[in-house]
Structure 1
């Protein structure tokens, strides 16, 4: 069950040496670990030539702040959900249930991050900087990216469960297909919660405008559609505090990702391609494409 996979993920990440535990757990799985400076990225690959490829991307500055606190910080949510979905897929595979889909799981397992100015609380970003991290995190072969990020330190997305963004593609914000909203409704048992995005959210972080989080920043490094999956809260919570993991929300977000993988496996689309075509024909390419920083 997803809850067991979620607890297993938390047990691994909330340890003094999470990387060693993760390596032991993933023996026999296609696993890659890359350290850049003090930042450690892990990439795990599932599948063997499926028709589609999806990336589950856990966005965060770090899972812990060992120089300031003890235990998992709020910012760790992206890594928790990413690992929980991976472990659940592996559990299903052991039971003889496999998806005809390629999935890359990418996240940051670092134990410290840096803080940069932001209101109402400072942002946590990887020690190597957001741009360098994104270049490493975004899978250029993925046809869809589900970007998971703790988004609690704001005054806008204040819900008691995880929230979605609409689809970000080529500098346009496109409505989620109704079928995706249906999946959200079934998983959570309530109406869809949406993150209110502004144009500023689609710009690089060094633009001096408001960004709700780095949830959709990966769009700057891919041509593929992105859906943001935000773990949120009724209260404003900074990313660097401990003791705030909401198990029910994390389980819902993890189960949503799994159901999205099944949906894509079945040929499901996340946005109306004719809508994007209409926008480009009437308005041209989005001006936001000018600031796109291509992965090198």
Structure 2
């Protein structure tokens, strides 16, 4: 595997997360009013943190990556334990479904039960958030040459907190797309959709089909709904002319900027490689070396 692209997955994820963090929840119009086009890592803003600060998106991806490395593969109990330890450290941003699932884990639920119970108790409209999709790209790097294992582990990493099929199969589609890019597939998203057709929810497939086909999409949304996140992030990452363009476009749309940016960044990193990410961004990412080291170790599994 091309090590530059493998590193690009995790570093691109972090860059999109950090660029989007200070403008999370702002509209595209508000971002334009304050920043023109936001192309630089800025401090303060949402969450009032220094430039380059990473959120729960990268934090959880690091938990997954470090577990895959330490356990030489997927161990659901170990991933869940790392999530709980991270949660107990007091992160400044935790999604609602993630919080509820981690609290159940704290009370003794098994790793493969907590997310299912939270999902069953959540009404439609608040049961298929994007809180798992941004943390699964390390799975694509680790299982880039084993599609069957990639599918299984992607779903399992999601269902620790997000058990809705739109979330679990959304993670599969994302990770298969990234793995396809790492393997120089001609149409990685189309291949990913073909692989899950018949199993994945129609709503997910219908939203992503026009992205795969290159059709124009009238409205690209940046809500916390996993289907919107995947449609927009995959569109921006696969249509862009550079990794920077992909991440900047995704973030400047507004909304759930850190997560949409993180997903777009992971895909763009796989497509263009770490060398294509702006050095001025990477310079302020505190976890740069850790992310790069993990990516290379996972790629060599």
TM-score, normalising length: structure 1: 0.29
**Larger helix share, 1 or 2:** 2
Higher relative contact order (CA 8 A, sep 6+): 2
TM, length-normalised to structure 2: 0.29
